[in-house]
Amino acid sequence: MSGFQFGQHNVNFVGGGAQTIVLAHGFGSNQGAWRQVLPWLAARHRVMLFDMAGSTAANAAFYTLTTHDGIEDYAEDLVALLDRHGIGRAIYLGHGAGGAIGLVAARARPELFQRLVLLGASPCHLEDGAYRGGFTASELEGMLSAMARNYRDWVAMFAPAVAGIGAEQRAAAEEYAASLLELPPPIALAAARTLFGADIRPLLAEVRTPTLVVQSRQDPLAPMAAAEHLEWHLPHGRIAFLDSEGHLPHMTAPDRLVRLLAAHGLDRAAAA
């Protein structure tokens, strides 16, 4: 059980219109990561933003190491937020772990979601037989050990590796590092263990919500095999390829992401 408390998520609404788009950030980030695509979305829709439990210094006090020890706990938070604000048939745009959380929530409460858009999402980060998730079990444990050993040094390595190499990625890497450093290391470590260790592949066939899987080039946390697995195993899933490098295209290539979203109908309200 998530131990949900309404005050912890810093919910904000921007824009107007009949259609609500819910923006969900990924691991180590917060709602501020959407700031470059938010004006475009808010000019067309009512946009809901929120911070996941334990994702900011402000809501770390609400987080314990036992209330969010499964990805289902984060999904319960999301469902509770939508119910609290009377939101149904939302378009859900989730980045990274936020995408996987959206899939779990849509499987449990499909009436809350009209459409899912997953940005750099993975159903499982661990290698498993022929499935290529990006991490072996020993590599994941090595990452978690590095976090525990010296969190600041780990952030200095992890943030640029996730953002990608190049001028347009440098500012995003610095911003992402700042959000990671805002977190108490024990909370960041617990969240990483939960979210990177999750495996939602068994439930994909039960997610009936139409889903767009947005895949960047050379995403170090969501390899092509993970995106293809989503497309093949979601009953209504399909891939759209984004010409960007790294795991943070909403921060490094917002104009290209907006063009892709427009091409897939997010420039107008969806039918009721």
pLDDT of residue 4: 44
Residues β-bridged to residue 47 = 14, 21
Distance of CA 129 to the CA centre of its chain: 25
Domains and CATH numbers, the chain: 6-263 (3.40.50.1820)
Quickly state the pLDDT bin for 58 (edges 50, 70, 90).
low
Q: Identify which of 136, 115, 113, 116 has the alpha carbon closest to the alpha carbon of residue 124.
A: 136
Residue 45: band (very low, low, confident or very high) from pLDDT cuts 50, 70, 90: very high
Per-residue pLDDT band for 258 (boundaries 50, 70, 90) equals very high
Residue with tokens 């980045």: 95
Helix (H, G, I), strand (E, B) or coil at 180: helix
pLDDT, tens digit (0-9, with 9 covering 90-100), for 225-238:
999 999 999 999 99
Q: Strand, helix or coil at 27?
A: coil
Confidence class of residue 166 from pLDDT cuts 50, 70 and 90? Answer: confident
Q: Is the pLDDT of residue 51 over 90?
A: yes
Full-model pTM: 0.94
Identify the burial level of 239 via C-beta atoms within 10 angstroms of its C-beta, where 0-12 means exposed, 13-18 middle and 19 or more buried.
Answer: middle
pLDDT at 226: 97
- Six token digits for residue 128: 């498993």
Q: How does pLDDT run across 100-158, given as a tens digit for each residue?
A: 999 999 999 999 999 999 999 999 999 999 999 999 999 999 999 999 999 999 999 99
In sequence order, the 6+-apart residues with CB closer than 8 A to the CB of 123 are: 100, 103, 199, 200, 201, 204, 226, 229, 230, 233
